Amino acid sequence: MSNVKDVIVKLTDVEKEFDGVKVVKKLNLEVRKGEFLTLLGPSGCGKTTTLRMIAGFSNVTSGEIELEGRNVADLKPNERDVNTVFQSYALFPHMNVEDNIAFGLVEKKVPKAEIKERVAEMIKLVQLEGLEKRRPAQMSGGQKQRVAIARALINRPKVLLLDEPLGALDLKLRKQMQLELKHLQQKLGITFIYVTHDQEEALTMSDRIAVMNDGVMEQIGTPDEVYNRPKTKFVAGFVGESNILESYVTQVDEDLLHISLESGKALLHAPGFKNEEMIYICVRPENLLLSETKKEHFSIRGRIVEHVFAGSVIKTVVELINGQKLRVARHPNEEEFEVGTYVYVYWHPKKAIIVHTVEEQIYNVIEGTTNRIYEQLGEKYSPSAREDSHDQ
C-alpha cells in the first residue's frame, strides 16, 4: 500500500455501466504523486472509460474517485485539477500556436502579461520556438501534439491525463515523442495517467503499468514486474510476445515438475503445484532454444515452417506435432536451421512462467532457487550455457 500522503488519485470500487453492461468492474487504483502510470489493455477493456471518469467527462455508476483526498466523482471537469490530452489534439484551427496554448488562461481571465510569460515558457518547454504564429493546418502531427500538451500543461494541473495521444503519429515520430513525453514528465514532476493499447509504449514510458482486461485490472506493477512476473495468463500473453502451452503435471518431486504436453514432455522447477494438475507454461520467444537432438527431460518436437528477418533478431516459427505454432527469437549468429527441419524445443528452467489454469496464480522460476535443477539437468542447462552459445 502507498503512503496516504503520496497518493494523488484514488479509485475505490469504481464501476461504470452502459445499457446495463458493466464496462468497468470494482476498480481499485492508487496513483502516486509525480509518477507516470499507464492504463494498458486491448480495445474495449475499459481503460479510456476509466480515464474519462477521472477527468469528469463520464460519471461513475458507483464507487469513489478522490483527488488529493477529496471525492470528485460528482464534480464537473472544469472543477477538477486535471487536464486531458486527446489523440485528436482538439486544437482550434483558426488560432495560431500562441492562442491555442493561451486559451485556458484567457478563459480564466489571467492578466495578459502573465499569459504572455507562461505561453513563452510552454513554447520553450515543448520546443516550438519559431512556430508561434503557425496554425494547426501548417504543422506536422508531432508539432500539433506538442501544442496540445503545452495547452494542457499551461494550466499547471495536478494530474495530466493522456488518451492515446501518440496513436495518430507514424512509428518513428511516435518513438521520438515517447521519450520526449517521459523526459517532460520527469522534468515537471506532474503525475501522468496515460492510456494506450501499445505494450512497447507502456514498457518504455511508465513507472507502473495497470493492465486491464474486460473491465478488470488484472495486474499493476513496474514494467519489469508486468513483463517478467505476470500474474495471469492474459497478462503473460498480452504484454509482449509469449508462447503459452497447456500442460499437465504428471509427477512432482519436491519443487520439480514433470510435465506432459500434446507435443512432448518437459521438466520445470516451481513451488506450489500438485500432481495431475493442469497448468499453462508461458515462455517468451527470446527464451526458447532449438536443437536437432533431443535434450534431457525435453521431448517437445516440431518442424520449422518460417524464418522472418527482423533486424537484430530472426523470428523462427516452429509448428508442433499438434499444430500449435511457437515463435522463437534467435540471434543472427546462432545456428540456422532450414525450413522443413525437425527440431526439439526447450528452454532454461528458470525462464518459464507457470500459471494455474483455474486460479491463474503465477509462480515464476526465479534465480536463486534453481541450483538443484542445474545439478539434475547438467552443465548444458547452466546459466552460462546460452551466453557461451552466443559467443561462438
pLDDT tens digits, 85-98 = 887 778 899 999 99
* pLDDT at site 374: 39
pLDDT tens digits, 117-170 = 999 988 988 888 989 999 999 998 888 888 988 898 888 889 999 998 888 778
* pLDDT at site 328: 93
- What length does the chain have? 392
Distances (CA, A) of 279 to 193, 250, 358, 386: 35, 11, 8, 26
Domains, the chain:
4-232 (3.40.50.300), 241-391 (2.40.50.100)
CB 275 within 8 A of CB 252: yes
User: Sign of torsion, CA 69 75 80 84?
Assistant: positive
Q: At what angle do helices 112-125 and 141-153 cross, to 10 degrees?
A: 130
For the chain, the helix, strand and coil percentages under 3-state DSSP, each to the nearest 5: 30, 35, 35
Whole-angstrom distance, CA of residue 184 vs CA of residue 348:
40
* pLDDT at site 372: 39
**Which of the residues in the chain have pLDDT under 50?**
359-392
CB 247 within 8 A of CB 276: no
Q: pTM to 2 decimals?
A: 0.81
